[in-house]
A and B are shown apart, each in its own frame.
Chain A
Amino acid sequence: MSKSVSLNSAPPMAVDHKGKPFLDPYLAGALLGIVLFAAFFLTGNGLGASGGIARVLVAAEDQIVPEHIDRTAYLLNMAGGETDPLDHWIVVITLGTVIGGFLSGLAHGRLRVETAKGPRISSKRRLVFAVLGGVLMGYGARLARGCTSGQALSGGAVLSVGSWAFMFAVFAGGYALAWFVRKLWT
């Protein structure tokens, strides 16, 4: 397990024992920026993730309790009556995201069943907190009308005031709690 990276050697890459090293974050960011620009330029829309997840869920709900969907204003919009919640570009993007991640992991030898966690907690505890964090993330993302991708990244790049306020709120929320839950990660 190689741990650190020599700071004076030529290739500025981290050495990761699992598969090939990750990209230089600035290069990865520039590539992500180009993908985001392509999305805006070609389609007029940015990127997103939570919207796709929401629609898949609503589609499942529509199979089980369609009457309930038709009575709930917020869900009606996505799946009311004959509307197919899956027939939406964000669902296609989300599908692409999953497959793109998989292909990249495959190509770089990073497909591996594992639970990433801090050194001081058990895997079980990590998974409990993962669910808890996920619940808050999912709820918050809908409340804020977007997640880190759909709001912060996409809205930030086109200079939406709300997206920048949102972005700082996410960082503020994380930093405010970080010290109290440091056992989880450090």
Chain B
Amino acid sequence: MAPFALVDQFGKTIAYLIYFAIGLGFGATLEMAGFSDSRRLAGQFYLRNLTVLKVMFTAIITAMVLVFLSSALGLLDYPRVYVNPTYLVPGIVGGLVMGVGFILGGFCPGTSLVAVSTLKVDALFFFLGVCIGVFSFGESVGRINEFFYSSSMGRFTLPEWLGAPTGLVVVGVVLMALFMFWGGEKLEAKFGGPEEYAAVRVLPTRTHHLAAASLLGLALVTLVIGQPNAEERWSRAGEETHALLQNRGAYIEPGELLSLSQNREVRLLMLDVRSEAEYNVFHLEDARRVDMHEVEEGLLSLELLQAPSNTVTVLIANDELRSTEAWRRLKADRVLNAYILEGGVNEWLGEFRPDLALVRTRSVPVGSMRYPFPAALGAGQAGANLDELSHEHPDLAFEAKVKLQTKKKLGGGCG
């Protein structure tokens, strides 16, 4: 299912040819829209020429409806589509700076490229300015690092912010854009300049109304079908991911967990998905308890999607029941580097606390703790400290399963 890992599937040459074709289309449409003339672009800010608004919002709503419609129909896997991470304050400040640059310079970086290619002298000078700006940012970002990385919210979308179904937001954005087009036409009729670079005047012809109605219709279809739920997203996670459960590729042995805990290059995140009572009785030191509600509501996935890319998450339950359930949900949300502790706490204790087996071995129902403890000491129990255990069992054998995957495969258009 789309999107495709182009380089992996077709090799670099074909992948880059596809990117090149996309670039050609991008450049050609910008040029055909008239964006190589800075006066047309600046005219937006004097209400003389609203081409920028019209082209930009038509493009946004067209792409948005197609993206979410194909996601609703199961043709496109939205979780794997790159969504620009939100860094709210640097984004807003950068946007304000760019707005000022826009009105002074008359271009934005993309349009200046197209204008340079059609030999506009002002665009060439603007482009030189962009180079200076980009260069000085690269040289000075070290000093504003803290600000540059502040107010990070990760992959944060309007439907999540508004708490509304995606389809409803899609319909709302289309309606907002259509309203802006209607208002824009009025403004342009009132303030539109008679200059030679004036707007391409279009009458509200039937074609336009028909196109607007069809787009709105498709947005409504998107709303009615709805976006895939967690179970559907899991089923679309791909055979490779599904196979990790059958071939046990998702399950790591205690020895590998010990080895991970001593590996300075990974950020190990142990998540205990058992009940609070069981957690209090015994848990691995540094393991954090996570309620299954947090998993089911997708809150854990959101957090993990924002985690540093060297994070390795290990889910821990009494056996493998709950941890596998949680893992499926994380995979439905395309969280990378998530694993399950093989055999859970029960196997762990069996491995590192042979004394417990001598005391009493109970036959217990699936999903519960096998060994009884006289007191709820949590990580204070013997067999909970990973540092000590790795000293005691330096040569514990295991079949290595963890392969650190980075999210660098997808990146921002400006990254």
Residues on the B chain within 8 Å of A24, using CB: 200, 202
Q: Using Cβ atoms and an 8 Å threshold, which residues of chain A touch B158? A: 159-161, 164
State which residues 131-177 of A face B: CB under 8 Å. Answer: 131-177
Q: Are A22 and B32 in contact (CB under 8 A)?
A: yes
The yes or no answer to A43 lying at the interface (CB within 8 A) is yes
Closest to B70 in A: A41
With contact pairs A42-B4, A137-B126 given, residues A173 and B102 touching in the complex (Cβ less than 8 Å): yes
Contact in complex: A134, B90 (CB < 8 Å): no
Contacting B103 at CB < 8 Å: which of A5, A97, A119, A174? Answer: A174
Q: Is A122 on the interface with B (CB-CB < 8 A)?
A: no
With A43-B3, A154-B84, A184-B104: A105-B133 Cβ-Cβ less than 8 Å: no
Do residues B37 and A116 form an inter-chain contact, with CB atoms below 8 A? yes
Rounded to whole Å, the gap between the CB of A133 and the closest CB of chain B is 2
Closest to A158 in B: B83
- In the complex, what distance in Å separates the CA atom of A98 from the CA atom of B345? 59
On chain A, the residues within 8 Å of B45 by CB distance are: 174-175, 178, 185
CA distance A5 to B200 in the complex (A): 8
- Closest Cβ neighbor of B31 among chain A residues: A104
Complex Cα distance, B117 from A111, in Å, reads: 8
Contacts of B109 in A (CB 8 A): 49-50, 53, 137-138, 141, 147-149
* Stretch in B54-62, B241-249, B265-273 touching the partner: B54-62
**Smallest distance from the beta carbon of B181 to chain A beta carbons, Å?**
8
- In the complex, the answer to whether B57 meets A29 with C-beta atoms within 8 Å is yes
- With a cutoff of 8 Å between Cβ atoms, the chain B residues found around residue A104 in the complex are 27-28, 31-32
Q: In the complex, are the beta carbons of A54 and B134 less than 8 A apart?
A: yes
Chain A proximity of B71: nearest CB distance (Å): 10
Dominant secondary structure at the A interface: helix
Q: Smallest Cβ distance from A185 to chain B, in angstroms?
A: 5
Main secondary structure of the interface of B (DSSP, over half): helix
Interface size class of B (residues with CB under 8 A): 35 or more
Report if A72 contacts B (CB, 8 A). yes
What per-residue 1/0 map shows which CB atoms of B156-185 lie under 8 Å from chain A? 111111000010011001000000010000
CB B35 to nearest CB in A, in angstroms, measures 9
- Which of B51, B59, B105, B166 counts the most A-chain CB atoms under 10 A from its CB? B59
Contact B211 A101 (CB under 8 A): no
Residues in A whose Cβ lies below 8 Å from that of B36: 101, 105, 110
User: Is B42 in contact with A185, judged by CB distance below 8 angstroms?
Assistant: yes
Q: Tell whether A29 pairs with B116 under 8 Å between CB atoms, given A4-B194, A134-B127.
A: no
Q: Are B59 and A33 in contact (CB under 8 A)?
A: yes
Instruction: Give min CB distance, A1 to chain B, whole Å.
Output: 6
Contact check, A157 vs B137: say whether CB atoms are below 8 A apart: no
Q: Contact: B23 with A93, CB < 8 Å?
A: yes
Q: Flag whether A80 is at the interface (Cβ < 8 A).
A: no
In the complex, the chain B residue whose C-beta lies closest to that of A163 is B84
A3 contact from B2, B111, B196, Cβ within 8 A? B196
| Whole-angstrom CA separation of A51 from B28 in the bound complex | 19
Query: Please, how many angstroms separate the alpha-carbon atoms of A13 and B194 in the complex?
Result: 14
Please name all residues of chain B whose beta carbon is closer than 8 Å to the beta carbon of A157 when the two chains form the complex. Answer: 59-60, 63-64, 67
From B38, B101, B102, B120, name the one whose CB has the most chain A CB atoms within 10 angstroms: B101
The answer on a CB contact under 8 Å between A111 and B118 is yes
Q: Which B residues are CB-close (under 8 A) to A35? A: 22, 25-26, 29
- Contacts A116-B39, A133-B106, A174-B45: A142 and B126 contacting too (C-beta < 8 A)? no
| Chain A residue with Cβ nearest B19 | A92
B56-A152 in contact (CB<8A): yes
10 A-B pairs with C-beta separation under 8 A: A26-B208, A41-B76, A43-B3, A50-B134, A51-B412, A90-B411, A90-B413, A93-B22, A101-B113, A101-B118
Interface residues of B (CB under 8 A from A): 2-4, 6, 15-16, 18-34, 36-39, 42-46, 48, 51, 54-64, 66-67, 70, 76, 78, 80-88, 90-123, 125-139, 141-142, 145, 148, 153, 155-161, 166, 169-170, 173, 181, 193-203, 205, 208, 211, 410-415
Q: Which 3 A-B pairs have the closest CB atoms?
A: A133-B105, A96-B23, A173-B99
